Structure 1
Amino acid sequence: MPESAPFRPRARIVGTLGADLISSERVALVELVKNAYDADATTCLIAYGPAESGTGRELVVLDDGHGMTLDELTSGWLDLAGTAKVKTRLSESKGRPLLGEKGVGRLAASRLGSELMVTTRRRGHEECQLMIDWAQFRNPDLYLDQIEVAVTTGESDDLGPYGRASRLRDEAGVEHEGSYGTMLTITGETQAWTHDDVAEIQRALQRLVAPATVGTRSDFRIVLSLPSEFEDLAGEVGPPQFTTAPLYRLRATVDESGDAVIEFDGQHPDLVPRSKTRHLWTADRKPVCGPFTVEIRAWDLDREGIDLAAPTMGVRDFRRQLAMMAGVSMYRDGFRLFPYGERGDDWLGLDLRRVNQPTMRVSNNQIIGFVFLSHSRNPLLQDQSNREGLIDNVAYDDLRTMVTTLTAELEALRVSLRRREKPAEPTGGLFDNLTIDDLPDVLRSHGAKAEVIAEVERRAELISGAVQVVKDTLTRFQMHATLGQLVDRVVHEGRNAIAPLRNKANLLSRAVERSDDNAITKRRDELLSTVESQASLLGALFDGLDPLSGRKRGRPANVNAMRAINEAVRASDTTLCPTATITVEGNDTRVRWAESDIILAVVNLINNALYWLSGSGNRDKAVRVTFTRVADDQVLIRVSDNGPGVDPQYEGHIFDPYFSLKSNGVGLGLSIVGSIADNYGGALTLSEHPELGGASFELTLGRHV
């Protein structure tokens, strides 16, 4: 007969699950506040100051929740990893979704001090007390079942009308009636708190509870009672007033399929509140994170933006206060999940995106965001054991992708409002007033002496020469800027060229694995054709550097237009939307152009259409490319799709370099196509009458054709 043996944990496992597992006092205190929330408390008072014993300092966490009976204290509170909150997912009187489920959050108290006194009373029952000395759990020779804790009942009245809890509430200005609730008194602090420590704790508590909706008040408040050296941080915890009125705000409700209803508003004077729908998900499977809601608030950090948002605040003070609250936080069932939104936590990668596109993207220090989840609707978003984040799984990646896409929507709105159209200025207009060439004539008309006029003419020549030097310098700077854009273009188009090569190579590899001779032949031919077309595209990219290198570019050749367009279709990245059908219409026509230029332009337009089609709800996704000779010296290439179309808010910006509504888009595709059109004396425009109901871009080419 096989024998069995039980696990028998050592007492020090409590430290492993408590003080050792929790990274900071801030996280530990949040765990205790969450317990108050689960107990249906209306107010949680946190008092830090001199200990009642007169030695050292103590921390008191006092709530007005339902409290515990003696039986609940001994069989429930001391039951580590108990199942009470797993079996019952809602609090007993207010029906709040319970935040704790692992049953070890109370051990967080061991991170805050060496001793814990639990004082509790349920309405209509006697007051109970439990005393724990955490030091005994560090004895390596003791097992957990050998640890005894002192429990008393009916011997104290600290929660009564004249007890210690009442005095603490009076000192903090907190009203309360009744002699029930729970008070945790922690002494023997591990280290004295500094002003910075308390400020960090206040900041964490400010964002702990999800913000109330407009016109309502949260049913759970947190109050800090602190000694005189921290009095600037004392009082009810809440966000600074200016953070509730951002310049730009996005609210979105996202369903389980990734379909979002998005609303925009804000304090920017040119922002007109509006709403739109967008399918955020572009993969060929459904997202698995579940439905969620989002609110993102954004500000401009320049003087003008701060004057609009908080006219009475200075620049430095505004930026400092915003930085304390900035970041995108995550809330589940009304309570915050750490560490999302903490200083230094950039779970969406916003700061890295901004490095690449500083004028388009926002950084963590200028936005405050809230992502709202629930236990029941997002079961695959699961906690890590250390209470510091969600498990990094597919559901978490899906959530991050869609929140980043929503952030790109707000970024596009902000850029569209900040960019101001400037009237075209004739060449040299910047220097029109930097001349005195007409001054000698003015002097002559007033009878000036000849030597004075001669000296003025000499000075006028010197000034003209200096202005020319400035013009030449600016020209060199402009060439450097152009080179920078060309480098971006090489990176952007190089990726576009590599993607179809990988796609065709993978298809060939699979055919080889299946030993399918017909498929191998077909995939081999496709790969060879794609290699040839992509090599041509990459060659065109390097040709784009010629004007800066001093080499002369080759002349356009006499080519078949339809052949070039079909090459572009084969070179497009069909993995962006595998279910889309691409059709080509037009007549064989000989044109005179650099074939690689046109392939490059059409590939960009097709890939753009495929990307937006992937996020549309259309069952039959379609892209149509048409070629027409509209005049002897002009041809038209139109790329149309039946996707969501272009948001009218952004029609004036989609051709700007680095403007993109894609979550990780570079914003160069349409700008590059526009540059190619310019080289051929043509233009790239957005049709006002799209053929397929989505977007329709018209590329007109007039030179050499």
Structure 2
Amino acid sequence: MLVIDWSHYESVTSVEDVELAVSTRSTSKPPGTSLTVQRLMEGFDNEQMERLARAMRLLTGFFNDEDTGFAATLIAPQFERISEAVNRGFFDEYEYKLEAHLDEQGYASTVLYDWKGQVIRRGEHIDVVPDRRRDRLQSPLRYQAPPATFELWMFLLSKRAFDLRGSRRRYVELRPWLAVVGGVHVFHRGLRVHPYGDQGSDWLDLNLLRSRSPELRPSTNTSIGRLSVEDPDGLLLPKTDRMGFQENAAFIELRQFAKSATDWAARERKRIRDREQLGSPAPTSRTDKGLASKQETDPEEAVGGGSPGLGPQAEPSAPEPPLPKQRQRSALPTVLPERLAYRALATAGILSVASVRESVAVGDAGSLGADGAVEWVALGARAARPDKLHVAVRDLNEAIGDALSAVRGQLERHGISLTLDLCTEPVRVAAAASDLEAIVFNLALNAVQSFERAGQMLGGRGVLVRTQVDGGLAVVDFSDSGAGVDDVDLGEMWRPGVVGRSPDSTGLGLTIVRDAIADMRGTRSVDAYGELGGASFRIRLPLWLDKD
């Protein structure tokens, strides 16, 4: 037994001046160490006790799968809740759990679990990795970091969540436990590294990101995480004071991997929430194409709340049934010339922006890139020609074919093959040529940007355009083999200003497509991972039938 009287240290110049005597005596207690602190001149307050509790919990290890052979128990009757936070764990009370893995090649994968432990989403590297032009990653889009495993348990601090799970614990006990162990901790070769996960250490910016999206993002007070890395090549270098790692390229990439995984989880949670609100299942990652759902919208959205010139912007609703044939033989749709001109000029502006960005991107690469930039401008001018700004009965095959012929060179310049599958019979619709071309040009630009965002992660680049007659309606399918829709909600993507992760998007192209279809009394839908693996847009327009 060792007794330390701290008053003996008040009159000495160094701790070595105080002699410590260890005595031996028999005991019936099991092996271990008992440390008792008593007769303090000033008692511990709550903050000091929380610091002690946190230190003890971190000393013993607090993850359920750890087997250190060592455990510490805090007995503090005056601080019962803090004592329980040290002596108990709540890992089985999580609402969501994220697991992310970074392999030896630098590719990431993710899994999101619900509170039952069931897999609800999986993500591949292309689903997780940030856009290479906006973040640190460079081609070939791999993380330059040692293999690692990242786990994040996310909790809801609400009585309702505990009641729905039928938990036997009280939700009020969860908060003090998270106050002790919350945050993302780093384990390097099995040893915990300070200061990551310590109080006040938010090295993944969880709290900042949560302030922007409190319903979908965890904070250091509502989650506990572990980043485990073996680092066999010694890429992570400790600081001279042994408090963390030097922020070299390997550490920065490792941190980006963990942050990107939390971003992916937030996107998936938002997708789940939005699909529940819409009453339909959510699309999943590229590996779960069978579960991808099509989200349809009403062509005649409620007027009001929209932006001038951009058309109505009501919440998406279920599509209307096909129009009766007698209505399909009615007069031509009335569309104000100002609306047609606005969409045509807006499309010209979008394509002009694309040309400027392409010119900057190619720089001195030669005339090929410059020609591509000029071609975007020519397409915009074509859509805004005055002779195209009126509604008439047109052959959809001819109009779509002409527009695609104009854009084919631009697609091929980006290595994209174009396949046409047009209906063998004429498909007559009432539409303005400017609107049909605006739809084709904006969807083509959308496909180009999708491929550029994916870089070299995908195989062949292809676009398929098909026309057909189905259920008394003219149908246009526009599909690509790009990365799919993984960074924006399917209902929100039609609204102005919604751009996802693409830095080159204006956020207006799909809004123009939406409004043009609505003025043609049509419907639209999108499949996040369609026929070619990428986004697939379907447009349905009323057939124009000759009067009897």
**1:584 — aligned with what?**
418
Q: What is the one-letter code of the residue matched to 2:97?
A: R
**2:541 — aligned with what?**
702
**1:30 — aligned with what?**
none
Number of aligned residue pairs = 446
Instruction: Note if 1:684 corresponds to 2:525.
Output: yes
Do the aligned partners of 1:327 and 1:369 also contact (CA within 8 Å) in 2? yes
Residues 338-357 of structure 1 show CA distances to partners (whole Å, capped at 9, x for unaligned) of 33334444333344444555
Q: Secondary structure at the match of 1:218?
A: coil
Residues 121-160 of structure 1 aligned to structure 2 (within 5 Å): 158=22
Do the aligned partners of 2:100 and 2:108 also contact (CA within 8 Å) in 1? yes
Residues 262-296 of structure 1 show CA distances to partners (whole Å, capped at 9, x for unaligned) of 4443424xx63478462244641342211001111
**2:238 — aligned with what?**
383
- Determine the C-alpha separation between the residues in 2 that align with 1:410 and 1:633: 39
**2:24 — aligned with what?**
161
Q: What is the one-letter code of the residue matched to 1:686?
A: D
Query: CA 1:175 to 1:303, structure 2 compared with 1: closer, same or farther past 3 Å?
Result: same
Q: What is the one-letter code of the residue matched to 1:196?
A: E
- Determine the C-alpha separation between the residues in 1 that align with 2:54 and 2:350: 42
- Determine the C-alpha separation between the residues in 1 that align with 2:93 and 2:307: 42
**2:48 — aligned with what?**
197
**1:525 — aligned with what?**
371
- Determine the C-alpha separation between the residues in 2 that align with 1:367 and 1:404: 14
Instruction: Note if 1:247 corresponds to 2:95.
Output: yes
Do the aligned partners of 1:258 and 1:402 also contact (CA within 8 Å) in 2? no
2:222 to 357, 360, 366: 366
Whose Rg is larger? 1
- Determine the C-alpha separation between the residues in 2 that align with 1:567 and 1:362: 48
Residues 486-522 of structure 1 show CA distances to partners (whole Å, capped at 9, x for unaligned) of xxxxxxxx999868744531422x45xxxxxxx2x44
- How does the TM-score come out when normalised to structure 2? 0.61
**1:259 — aligned with what?**
107
Query: CA 1:222 to 1:273, structure 2 compared with 1: closer, same or farther past 3 Å?
Result: same
Q: Which runs of no fewer than 5 residues in structure 1 stay unpaired? A: 1-44, 58-112, 118-130, 133-154, 178-182, 425-473, 486-493, 512-518, 540-553
Following superposition, the deviation at residue 402 of structure 1 comes to 2.0
**2:69 — aligned with what?**
219
Structure with bigger RCO (C-alpha 8 Å, 6+ apart): 2
Following superposition, the deviation at residue 53 of structure 1 comes to 4.8
Instruction: Note if 1:603 corresponds to 2:445.
Output: yes
Q: What is the one-letter code of the residue matched to 1:700?
A: I
- Determine the C-alpha separation between the residues in 1 that align with 2:80 and 2:528: 62
**1:629 — aligned with what?**
467
Do the aligned partners of 1:256 and 1:288 also contact (CA within 8 Å) in 2? no
Cα RMSD, aligned residues only: 5.6
Following superposition, the deviation at residue 219 of structure 1 comes to 3.2
**1:19 — aligned with what?**
none
- Determine the C-alpha separation between the residues in 2 that align with 1:235 and 1:422: 42
Q: What is the one-letter code of the residue matched to 1:630?
A: Q
Following superposition, the deviation at residue 372 of structure 1 comes to 0.5
Q: Which moved more, 1:557-566 or 1:408-417?
A: 557-566
Residues 441-520 of structure 1 aligned to structure 2 (within 5 Å): 501-508=356-363, 510-511=364-365, 519=366
1:307 to 155, 160, 163: 163
Do the aligned partners of 2:362 and 2:370 also contact (CA within 8 Å) in 1? no
Do the aligned partners of 1:604 and 1:669 also contact (CA within 8 Å) in 2? no
- Determine the C-alpha separation between the residues in 1 that align with 2:195 and 2:351: 36
Q: What is the one-letter code of the residue matched to 1:218?
A: T
Residues 172-187 of structure 1 aligned to structure 2 (within 5 Å): 175-176=31-32
- Determine the C-alpha separation between the residues in 2 that align with 1:347 and 1:535: 49
2:196 to 340, 346, 356: 340
Do the aligned partners of 2:473 and 2:542 also contact (CA within 8 Å) in 1? yes
**2:490 — aligned with what?**
655
- Determine the C-alpha separation between the residues in 2 that align with 1:499 and 1:391: 40
Q: What is the one-letter code of the residue matched to 2:420?
A: G
Residues 275-424 of structure 1 aligned to structure 2 (within 5 Å): 276=122, 278-279=124-125, 280-281=128-129, 283-285=138-140, 286-308=142-164, 311=167, 318-319=174-175, 321-377=177-233, 379-415=234-270, 418=273, 419-420=275-276
Query: CA 1:251 to 1:587, structure 2 compared with 1: closer, same or farther past 3 Å?
Result: closer
Q: Which moved more, 1:622-631 or 1:404-413?
A: 404-413
Q: Which runs of no fewer than 5 residues in structure 2 stay unpaired? A: 133-137, 281-301, 316-348
Residues 599-638 of structure 1 show CA distances to partners (whole Å, capped at 9, x for unaligned) of 334433443455457555xxxx222112233249735242
Q: Secondary structure at the match of 1:698?
A: strand
Q: What is the one-letter code of the residue matched to 1:200?
A: R
